[in-house]
Amino acid sequence: MQGFFTKKRLTPFQTIVLGFAAVILSGALILMLPISSASGRITPFHEALFTSTSSVCVTGLVVHDTGSYWSNFGQSVILLLIQVGGLGVITVAASFAILSGRKISLLQRSTMQEAFSAPKVGGIVRLTGFILKCTFTIELIGALLMMPVFIRDNGSSGIFMAFFHSISAFCNAGFDIMGRTGASFSSLTTYRSNPLINTVIILLIIIGGLGFLTWEDIYTNRHHFKRYRMQSKVIFTMTGILVIFPALFYFFCDLTELPTGERIAASLFQSVTPRTAGFNTYDLTKLSGVGKSLMIVLMLIGGAPGSTAGGMKTTTIAVLFSNTISVFRRQEEPHLFARRIDNQVVRYASTILIIYAFLFTIGGLLISAIDDLPIGSCLFETASAVGTVGLSQGITPSLSTPSLVILMILMFLGRVGGLTLIFAAISRKNPTVSKLPQERITVG
């Protein structure tokens, strides 16, 4: 590699895909080492690869309890992989290049633009510095806020636990190390009634899922909402809708056995965490069929573009809804916040929806057939994987190797993005401009 890009003229999309793959493989090889496991044994390659993929793709699905199976070294490696995956491989590589004083070429800036989902190349280096400062500051504040609780419950190891869960929450990873002192695979259920932990984790998840460009809008325009980019306005609106309405559903329909205080906190938490965070403070197997289905929808939607979150993205759903409304109103183009939306964006949004629906459905069917498991549980798991969420019905540790491979593929596709992978595979320098004859076809 030359700097953080290869000497070959790879497209930005190819660079992003290969960068993620390289980090995943490196992480897997390190996690295989005896020093990485608490027992001092070598971890099988497919299990180490699954854990590394889940970490870099900030998913949170695991085959071993993170807190009890991995050693302090192994947990530190997982945390580093989460941080790299949350920021993005290109962001981390670019940061080292900037800190070393190396000049960033136009091609490299173009790759950084694709990684951030930035609208233009100009100012991309400055944006990288801004992202790093905000990320580390927010993660530090989150750790310091949670530290007193974790130290009270776990002694000096609570310091590491505070940083681990702060970074995991901000990066929307969903990894936890509660298995150190409690039950395996318990996530944050022991802190369901703790208002501080609930509030801090929820805020970290939401902030991480808003997107880097939205942070810049907040920093630049403060409380002047009218000056925000249309994209930022859409993200805020969709985030509010996707937090409030599911929380109301869980409060009134699914978590009725909890005391009022816990019920409010748990409802809000279960509304926020499916949008790619992966923590839970309630036993998800106790949710109703409708509650689980709602969670699947939230997992597939995910967070904002250019954020630590995965999924189809809130803007994708907003564009599709806007396009539907424009059809009902017989308008030529969809629009949001008094701004027209380009038809190519609508095409991309439709493609993304079909890709995620296809991957989610086919993956679930294959796992159900391979391991002879209920289709509902398998679809929940595949939605969690392709949405890079990490919530589970508890079947992942018992899956066969072929099913784990399917989940790894879904996690990877979910993190790099379906369109990114397609553009990386079929990118052409000279796309055709010729057009075939047009003919009408009836739909609906």
**Predicted local confidence at residue 430, as pLDDT:** 56
C-alpha 215/C-alpha 211 separation (Å) is 7
Q: What does the pLDDT read at residue 382?
A: 96
Question: Could you report the per-residue pLDDT of 150-179, keeping only the tens digit for each?
Answer: 999 999 999 999 999 999 999 989 899 988
How confident is the model over 286-340, as pLDDT tens digits?
Answer: 899 999 999 999 999 998 887 888 889 999 999 999 999 999 988 888 999 989 9
Measured distance CA(208)–CA(137) in Å, rounded? 12
Exposure pattern of 63-97 as b/e (b: 16+ CB <10 Å)? bbbbbbbbbeebbebbbbbbbbbbbbbbbbbbbeb
Q: How far apart are CA 378 and CA 396, in angstroms?
A: 9
For residues 405 and 54, give the distance between their C-alpha atoms in angstroms, rounded to a whole number: 12
223 CB-side CA count, 13 A: 0
- Residue 205: per-residue pLDDT: 93
Which pLDDT belongs to residue 101?
65
Residues lower than pLDDT 50 in the chain: 1-7
- Provide the whole-model pTM: 0.88
Say what the pLDDT of residue 235 is.
93
Spatial separation of the C-alpha atoms in residues 191 and 177, rounded to whole Å = 13
